Each structure stands twice: as C-alpha cells, then as structure tokens.
Amino acid sequence: MLAPSALPCRSCNGVAYRAAFAGLQDSAFQRSGSRSLLPRPTARWVVRGLLGEYVKQLPPPKSGPYFSSVELSTPFLQMIEYSSRQSNYNAQQAALDYHRFGKEIVRVVVEIRLTQSYGQFVATTNSQSDATSALVPRPHDFWKQFKVQVYNSEGPLSPSASRGHANSSCGRAGCALIGATIELEFPATAFASDSATIEVDPPEGDRVSVNFDLSSIR
C-alpha cells in the first residue's frame, strides 16, 4: 500500500497532512536554500527532483515508439504540485484545500515520443497493388492505438476516466508532431497493495512494463 504518510490512508487528517507537507517544505529548503515553499518559476521540475520515485524514466527502444516516462501521481503529489503554483502558501492552507478537493484519485501518465522508426509520417498502401505509394502525416489521435493497463496485486484495474492528446513542437516553419500523452485516473482506494504495475502495449515495437513500490511513496 502507499506509505503511511500517503494519501489516501485511514488516519489522514489535517494534522497528519500538515506534518507531511511541512516535511516536504523542509526538504525543498535544503535543496534550494530558500524559505519559499517551492520556487514557483521552476515548480514542476523542483517537485520532480524531490519526488522522483513517482516518475520512471525509461531508455529509448531499438525500434518503435519511445515511452520516455511513466508517472504514478498520488493525491499527495497532486496537492504538492498544486501548492507549488500558489503564492504565500503554507501547510495549514494545504490541509484545508486537500479536504476541499474531496475525492482522491491516482493518475497514471504515459509520455510517448516519436522516433526515427516510428515517426511523424506513415506510409500509405495502394489497395490494388499492395505497394507503398506515399507518406502522409501521422494522425494526431495515434495515441488511441496504444493500450495502457494498470494492475494491482489482485489483477487488472479499470480506469474511472481516460484521455490523451498529441504533443507538437512549433517554430517559424510551423508545428511538427513529436509525441503524445496518455492519462488514466483511478480511485485511490484501488491501490491498497504494496505494488502496482503499468503495462503499455504499442501498435508497433515492444511492450513496456513498469513496477512501482507503493510502500515507498506518499
């Protein structure tokens, strides 16, 4: 299951949450040398630096699409990221906001990058001769062909919500498709065991499996 200071937990309340939040604030101070909660201009990468165990960085494949990272975002991490975007924020306010937000969810986020072997263009086939005839832009909803499955110790989980979007890099010459992001949401209560496994099955290339030790994260 998630670590004792995690959200959700049976004993979580304003006091427990403030203590966990204040502990992260002290850690941020040690890293940044500043008494601000988290430096706002660099909030997201500071959070990632402090809580890297929530994100698994993967090596590039020999061929096929590149799954650059898989993230397991707990309610605790979501609140920390939210707070890092606020000014004059403190642990007491964080506890109040946590209760105000209500239902706890865990988000799974998969980042996909295009590669030379799985690029922004795809070959079309002439139906009469079965010969490759031309290259056309890869559809921006290509991510819908990827299957993401999450498991706990009891088996596969069904998401309560799912979505995705294409990612592009834009310049003076226009925009080019570079990848996509897939996001799934689950009730936090589904992660009561000590581990979770996330599998990503692409239409081309090798399947990727990532394990998370839930006992070591909040």
Under a CB-based contact definition with an 8 Å cutoff, are residues 157 and 196 in contact? Answer: no
Residue 56 resides in a domain? yes
Q: Is residue 28 part of a domain?
A: yes
In the chain the beta strands, taken as DSSP E runs, fall at 55-57, 66-73, 105-113, 121-125, 132-137, 147-152, 155-157, 161-171, 174-187, 195-201, 208-213
Residue 62 belongs to what H/E stretch?
A: none
Residue 53 lies in a domain: yes
**Is residue 200 in some structural domain?**
yes
**Total domain count, the chain:** 1
Q: Amino acid letter at 138?
A: R
Blockwise average pLDDT, block size 10, the chain, 218 residues: 44 41 47 41 51 86 96 84 68 65 86 96 73 84 98 95 96 94 95 93 95 86
Confidence at residue 76, expressed as pLDDT on a 0 to 100 scale: 79
Q: H or E segment at 199? A: strand 195-201
Q: Is residue 1 included in any domain, yes or no?
A: no
- Residue 19 domain boundaries: 14-216
Residue 130 is predicted with a pLDDT of 59
Residue type, position 158, single letter: S
- Give dist(CA 195, CA 95) in Å, integer: 27
Looking at residue 80, its pLDDT comes to 74
Does any domain span residue 69?
A: yes
**Residue 9 located in a structural domain:** no
Residue type, 18: R
Is 147 part of any domain? yes
Closest to 66 measured CA to CA, from 165, 210, 180: 180
